[in-house]
């Protein structure tokens, strides 16, 4: 499956989850439910993926954890906050750069609508633009 199709399925499943449960649950609850929904859609999905950081010969294991890694290509960072903070997008972009992945989705389930809590973050990726 192409990356854009994977992202489309993830957004659709995130929308359905937000619609059915509403805002206000813990991030962990959304993470578990979204991961299972993505698996039901036929996608591989790993939770809490540990990523080491390598810098000038130093390796820091468990430096960060990615909420969801879908099909080993799409990072989904989940939040459950009343407001989006600029640091959330920067955090996701850092994850993408460290993992050398092209695309991530920031899903903030704390927002009143799913659309207002959704951001697409690209790392030198121009998929769908032509």
Res 130 pLDDT > 70: no
Mean pLDDT of 74-99: 91
Displacement of CA 82 from its chain's centroid (Å): 18
Long-range contacts of 83-91 (CB under 8 A, 24+ apart): 84/108, 84/111, 84/117, 84/119, 88/119, 89/119, 89/121
Pick the CATH number of 3-122 from 1.10.150, 2.40.10, 3.40.50, 3.40.1350: 3.40.1350
Mean pLDDT of 77-91: 89
Residue with more model confidence, 33 or 51: 33
Q: What is the reported pLDDT for 84? A: 78
Res 127 pLDDT > 70: no
């Amino acid at each position: 499956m192409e990356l854009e199709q994977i992202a489309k399925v993830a957004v659709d499943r995130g929308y359905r989850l937000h619609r059915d449960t509403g805002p206000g649950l813990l991030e962990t609850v959304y993470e578990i439910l979204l991961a299972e929904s993505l698996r039901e859609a036929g996608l591989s999905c790993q939770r809490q993926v540990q990523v080491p950081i390598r810098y000038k010969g130093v390796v820091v294991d468990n430096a960060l954890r990615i909420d969801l890694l879908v099909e080993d290509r799409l990072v989904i960072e989940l939040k459950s906050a009343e407001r989006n903070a600029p640091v959330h997008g920067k955090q996701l972009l850092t994850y993408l750069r460290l993992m050398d992945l092209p695309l991530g989705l920031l899903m903030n389930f704390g927002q009143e609508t799913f659309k207002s809590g959704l951001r697409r973050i690209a790392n030198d990726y121009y998929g769908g633009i032509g």
